[in-house]
Amino acid sequence: MSSSATKTKPSTRKIAAFVLAALGIAGLSAASAANLALGSSTLGAGQQVVASCQESDADPIDLSFSTALSAGSYQAQALTLSNISDACSGLDYKVAVNGAEVATGSLDPITAGTRGVLEIPLTSTAAADVESVSVVIFN
């Protein structure tokens, strides 16, 4: 082996390590900023929600995820529904991820003129496996 071959190999490893670190940071940024407007016409994942208590399509209920890296993969730890109209205050809801119900209950009172937020903890949900989120608000 020549000395130049020996020098090239560690250099290649350093470059590969740098590229992998950069990709990891980019992936972390993308995972922590995962937002999905349920009222939009184009969804990355999910189903459009039509809640009679939500005023219009121009003001949709927003969906975001909290994720964390665990055992080498990102896990969705919680989903948050925000921008919920005060007209939905006290109504019942059901939330499903990939067709499996993850939460039911009644929305907390929402002060008139403000927007409500609902956070739902998730367990054992790989972020890459989330294909759809369904939200039903009813009375």
The edge-to-edge listing of strands for the beta sheet with 100-106 is 100-106, 92-97, 133-138
- Residue for token digits 């350093």? 14
Mean pLDDT over 110-122 rounds to 94
The yes-or-no verdict on residue 93 having pLDDT over 60 is yes
The yes-or-no verdict on residue 17 having pLDDT over 90 is no
Yes or no: say if 106 and 116 are a contact pair by the CB < 8 Å rule. no
Tell me the pTM. 0.64
Residue 110 is predicted with a pLDDT of 93
